[in-house]
Every structure is written in C-alpha cells, then in structure tokens.
Amino acid sequence: MRLSVLGLLMAAALPATAQQLADGEIRKVDRKAGTVTIKHGPIPSIDMPAMTMVFHVQEAAMLDRVKSGDKVKFQAELRPGGKATVTSIEAAK
Ligand SMILES: [Cu+2]
C-alpha cells in the first residue's frame, strides 16, 4: 500500500518532457548542413514510428555533443515546412 502510493507520487512528479524522450542511435553528424541522422524508436509526441531519418537541430552546439554510434535520448518537434527538429538531446545512460 505504502509503496504503491509512493509510486503514484513519483510518477506524477516526473516532468512531462522526461516522458516524451525518444530513444535513438546517432548514425551521422553533418555540421555543414546542421543535421543529424538518427535511427530512432517511436516518438509519440509527434506520432512517428521507429525509423532512420535526418533531423535538423535547434542549436548547432548540439552537434558537438554527439557522434556516430552514440546512444541518445532526445526530443523532436515538427516545424513549419515539415522540418523535423531536435529540441533536446542527451547521452542515454
Ligand atoms: Cu522519424
């Protein structure tokens, strides 16, 4: 009883953004184009199934934090014009 109540409290305390992180593996970083190719799992926040695709990045500095082969957790948005853009990215633990 005690444990289940604690579990509910902890789930409620998780920021929504943490729950929207998608899993991915970096396939290619193109600093010139400002893009990163990610083999990713499902991304519920933008209703996208698993696939490998090219993303733009919100900040060029994100490209310096990842390299091909890295396992990552990230968030992405679909921007006007259909550009899929990574808005946050971190190494997967
Ligand atoms: Cu995709």
Cα separation of 14 and 29, whole Å?
31
Q: What is the pTM of this model?
A: 0.79
Q: Give residue 42 CA to ligand 1 midpoint distance, Å.
A: 8
CA of 7 to the centre of ligand 1 (A): 32
Q: 30-66: per-residue pLDDT in tens?
A: 999 999 999 999 999 899 999 999 999 999 999 999 9
Q: What is the pLDDT of residue 88?
A: 95
In angstroms, the CA 74 to CA 25 distance is 10
- Residues of the chain with pLDDT > 90, as a percent, come to 72
Alpha carbon of 84 to ligand 1 centroid (Å): 8
Q: DSSP assignment, residue 47?
A: T
- Cβ-proximal residues to 49 (8 Å cutoff; 6+ apart), any chain: 42
- The CATH class given to the 16-91 domain equals mainly beta
Which stretches of the chain are assigned E, i.e. beta strand?
22-30, 35-40, 51-57, 71-79, 83-91
CA distance linking residue 38 with residue 2, whole number of Å? 41
Q: Which residue in 56, 50, 59 sits closest to 36, CA to CA?
A: 56
Rounded distance from Cα 88 to ligand 1 centre (Å): 15
Distance between Cα 2 and ligand 1 center (Å): 41
C-beta separation of 24 from 73 below 8 A: yes
